[in-house]
Amino acid sequence: MSCTAVQNLISQYIDGRLSGAEADVVREHVQECDDCAQDFKDSQFLSRLLKENLEFPEPPKDLPRSVIRTVERTKPEK
């Protein structure tokens, strides 16, 4: 597999979204290619940094009801 193809799959690999065969190919390539190994390490670092530092606020409890009211108010009359 080419470096470009592997680099396009690295984030999916880190997120565990590749099939076993694809994951094996990425893992093997990264072990043999210094450039892709560095890209992999950088991507892992960024992924970990984002997961540790992003806060996802709790949505308001009435959000679904609020969305429905908004949609109903903006719905064109027949």
The domain ranges of the chain are: 3-74
Identify the pLDDT of residue 61.
Answer: 93
- Nearest in space to 7 (alpha carbons), one of 50, 65, 30, 16: 30
- Once rounded to an integer, what is the mean pLDDT over residues 22-39? 95
Architecture of domain 3-74: Orthogonal Bundle (1.10)
Contact indicator for 26, 10 with CB cutoff of 8 Å: yes
Identify the pLDDT of residue 36.
Answer: 95
| pTM (2 d.p.) | 0.65
Identify the pLDDT of residue 37.
Answer: 96
- Work out the pLDDT band at 45, boundaries 50, 70, 90: very high
Which residues 6+ apart lie within 8 Å of 30 measured at CB? 6, 10, 36, 37, 40
Identify the pLDDT of residue 27.
Answer: 95
